[in-house]
Amino acid sequence: MSFIEEVKELIGKQESDILEYKTVLPPSRNIAQLICGFANAEGGYIILGVKENYDSTLSVVGLSQDFMANEIVHKAIDMLYPKPKVEYRYITHESKQLYAIKIEKAKETIMAENKKYIRKNCRTILLDEVQKHIYTNKSDKDIVELSQFLNDCKTKLTSSMVILIEHYQSILNLLDNYQQNNLEKNNQELKILKRILFSSCVDNFETYLSNLLYEIYLSNPNTLKSEEMIEVSTVLSCSDIQEFIILFANKKIQKLQKGSIKGFIKENKQISDLGIMNKNEDIEAIEKILQIRHLFSHKNGIIDEKFLRYYPDFKIGQEMILSIVEICEKLRYLINTSKKIDEAAIQKYNLAMSDL
């Protein structure tokens, strides 16, 4: 039986340990993880352009050829070592263009960016994930609760959101380990550590939005169309369309990095159309978190005039110190906001959901 015949025979069957559907083209990292998982199990197929509906029925929607899927898959395979045997191409089914990837069972362990994934019960699982994110020895109640909340959030998310959550879990681990291993706490060290870790979390909230824009652009080529002028040298500096989309998405985040959530929302219709961060109270809450990050990163936590515009109860020259409780509250707010954005983006743009 030919490759095309094998794929057409599978279309319409439910997802299984050898079959995965994606409505749209996922990022190369996500594809690499899926290929790795199948190769380390019994092999299998990934079919792009088939939508699994909420009632578990399937719809053949087709996959846009505006972006070259071959390039994305090439990049995914480059992330694997050793390289498994993979076959992939566009096929036509019910007058729709689909894209299929066939992965053979590997004779040796395949790693994706030095991580081992395996296909099990319709899911692609990172083998060390259970050990990596179990929180049984936390000393701080607020960290325990936030850690559990993050674990509970890890369902039906984009790969961008999974990355954000895993970063926050690592940050909480670092913070709690420091507290447990330093019973005679050096307050100055702990204060600096909290600043660094909090700033890292806010930075990664921005990274999440940039990554999400990339997923939207990749999955919905029409959203990339813009009247914005782009220098030819910028385009030519990119090796392929995927690299250009990443660059373009990162460029869009610059307003946010300067502490302007209003400017970011105004310039990114893909995000503003989701209707999540459009209320004044939401904008103000995120703006205030960004200002704390700016103060920690550039002023060593010492309050200046700009900071007073957002926090008028403080005084110039006073030091801004966040407690563990306050840090957890602000991180929970960012995760809640990100999760709402993620759910709305998946719904509106039919984004691929991560199995992890």
pLDDT in tens, 336-351: 999 999 999 998 888 8
Specify the amino acid at residue 337. Answer: T
Which residues 6+ apart lie within 8 Å of 83 measured at CB?
A: 77, 110
Average pLDDT for 181-200: 82
Average pLDDT for 93-117: 93
Predicted local distance difference test score (pLDDT) of residue 168: 94
3-class SS of residue 44: strand
Average pLDDT for 113-130: 83
Residue 284 pLDDT > 80, yes or no?
yes
Predicted local distance difference test score (pLDDT) of residue 258: 59
Beta strands in the chain (DSSP E): 19-22, 44-48, 50-52, 58-60, 80-81, 86-93, 96-103, 111-112, 117-120, 123-126
Predicted local distance difference test score (pLDDT) of residue 271: 85
- 295 pLDDT tier (thresholds 50, 70, 90): very high
Predicted local distance difference test score (pLDDT) of residue 128: 65
Predicted local distance difference test score (pLDDT) of residue 239: 57
- 132 pLDDT tier (thresholds 50, 70, 90): very low
Predicted local distance difference test score (pLDDT) of residue 340: 94
* CA–CA separation, 172 and 285 (whole Å): 22
Predicted local distance difference test score (pLDDT) of residue 31: 93
Q: Select the more confidently predicted residue: 255 or 246.
A: 246
Percent of the residues in the chain that have a pLDDT greater than 90, as a whole number: 44
Predicted local distance difference test score (pLDDT) of residue 133: 43
Predicted local distance difference test score (pLDDT) of residue 221: 65
Which residues 6+ apart lie within 8 Å of 102 measured at CB?
A: 3, 6, 7, 43, 44, 45, 86, 87, 88
0.85 surpassed by pTM: no
Average pLDDT for 180-196: 78
Predicted local distance difference test score (pLDDT) of residue 241: 59
160 touches 208 (CB < 8 A): yes
